[in-house]
């Protein structure tokens, strides 16, 4: 072995890129009104790690923390206390962006179906005799 070979530094080289989300099929979740729901992201491979942003159907980016939702540190979207009028048929999508190349990958659509809970009027009234 020559002196040149023994003194050579090892160079680690990473490819800067992002690959699309592994799942492309839309995801539909059913939940009873008043319950919370969690949307998990399928894996996305990015070097450096991707920046994740969730948006609603209009394209408005969701804040990480709001009154009716949270985005966890592992980038799950948690909708709290679902409301039929506000959340039924709501559509969400995540976008992963490579901070270096600015290339982006969009997640499948996440559709929320809220089951309205009806209570019987008969059970809410007491019989007066």
Q: Which domains does the chain have, with CATH numbers?
A: 14-116 (2.60.40.10)
Give CA separation, 57 vs 20, 39, 82, 87, 94, in Å: 20, 15, 17, 11, 11
16 or 107, higher pLDDT: 107
pLDDT above 90: residue 44? no
DSSP state, 60? P
Residue 11 confidence class, pLDDT cut points 50, 70, 90: low
Report the candidate in 94, 91, 77 with the shortest Cα–Cα distance to residue 36: 77
**What's residue 66's pLDDT?**
93
C-alpha dihedral sign at 33, 63, 108, 49: negative
| Dihedral class, residue 75 (left if φ above 0, else alpha if ψ from -120 to 50, else beta) | left
* Chain segment 47-104, per-residue pLDDT in tens: 888 999 999 999 999 999 999 999 999 999 999 999 999 999 999 999 999 988 999 9
State pTM to two decimals.
0.75
């Amino acid at each position: 072995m020559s002196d040149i070979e023994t003194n050579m530094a090892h160079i680690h080289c990473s490819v800067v890129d992002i690959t699309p989300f592994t799942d492309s099929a839309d995801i539909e979740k059913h939940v009873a009104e008043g319950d919370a729901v969690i949307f998990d992201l399928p894996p996305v491979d990015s070097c450096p790690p991707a920046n994740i942003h969730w948006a609603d159907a209009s394209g408005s980016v969701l804040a990480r923390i709001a009154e009716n939702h949270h985005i966890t540190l592992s980038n799950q979207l948690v909708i709290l206390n679902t409301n039929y009028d506000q959340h039924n048929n709501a559509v969400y999508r995540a976008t992963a962006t490579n901070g270096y190349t600015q290339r982006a990958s969009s997640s499948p659509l996440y559709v929320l179906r809220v089951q309205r809970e009806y209570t019987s009027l008969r059970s809410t009234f007491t019989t007066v005799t």
